Amino acid sequence: MRTLIVDDTRLARAELRTLLTDHPQIEIVAEAEDVAGAIEAIDRLQPALLLLDIQLPGGTGFDVLAGVEHLPQVIFTTAYDQYAVEAFQRNALDYLLKPIEPERLRQALARANERLNSERSAPAVPAGGLLGAQDTVFLRDGERCWFVALRDISHMVVDGNYVRVHFGSEKALLNRSLSALEARLEPNLFFRANRNALVNLRAITQIDPWVNDGYRLRLRDGQTLEVSRRQARELRERLSL
């Protein structure tokens, strides 16, 4: 598994290299010690796994993730436990506190390997860079950050000049247009319910007739969305209703 180590401390990088010698599936392709170097290495080398510290020269590990187009799998390796509680405990592959325990590292790498094998067995992403259910996106709203699989996003709704993304009990704002987001998504995953909303077809639990020959959708998170009359026919075709 092609792996990039990002840490500003030479000793910490050396300790990680030593720990990783017990894991022959790991191929360390490079190391970086600051935000700019990490972004450059990710874009150039396209690693499958990122071992990432939080505090770095030039910013934080969050800035690294925000600065790359394609996210590798991420395991945080840091001394700052407060970030895990708010942002990454449930969404990153793992969050390892220094000094890193060999068994915790083994568990995290096993999880990374399992996810990589799952992605390899999944259908290939279509040409054009479209994102599918297995792809993970990085969302940031103020100081809060998440790694979210697209399959876990229930819907996206226009909110002023932003798009509000709903996943589980959380919400995050994206500075993108709904049309731009729709263009990046596989069409068999998300559906344009109306001019202001995209819905994950797998998140729909109930469909009811609604005004003007439209539909009202109930989603797995309990929220509802209206399907316009114009889109109702396409929804019936997509779901073979």
pLDDT-derived band at 84 (thresholds 50, 70, 90) equals: low
Q: How far apart are CA 180 and CA 151, in angstroms?
A: 18
pLDDT-derived band at 129 (thresholds 50, 70, 90) equals: low
108-125 burial: b if 16+ Cβ within 10 Å, else e: bbeebbebbeebeeeeee
Instruction: Write down the pLDDT at residue 223.
Output: 93
42 pLDDT higher than 60: yes
Who wins on pLDDT, 18 or 86?
18
User: Residue 85, SS3?
Assistant: helix
User: If you average pLDDT over residues 13-19, what whole number do you get?
Assistant: 97
Who wins on pLDDT, 232 or 131?
232
In CATH terms, the superfamily for domain 149-239 is LytTr DNA-binding domain (2.40.50.1020)
239 pLDDT higher than 60: yes
Name the fold adopted by 2-121. Rossmann fold (3.40.50)
| Residue 241: its H or E element | none
Within the chain, which residue ranges are assigned CATH 2.40.50.1020? 149-239
pLDDT in tens, 168-210: 989 998 877 888 888 888 888 999 999 899 999 999 999 999 9
Is the pTM value of this prediction over 0.85?
Answer: no
Within the chain, which residue ranges are assigned CATH 3.40.50.2300? 2-121
pLDDT in tens, 176-187: 788 888 888 888
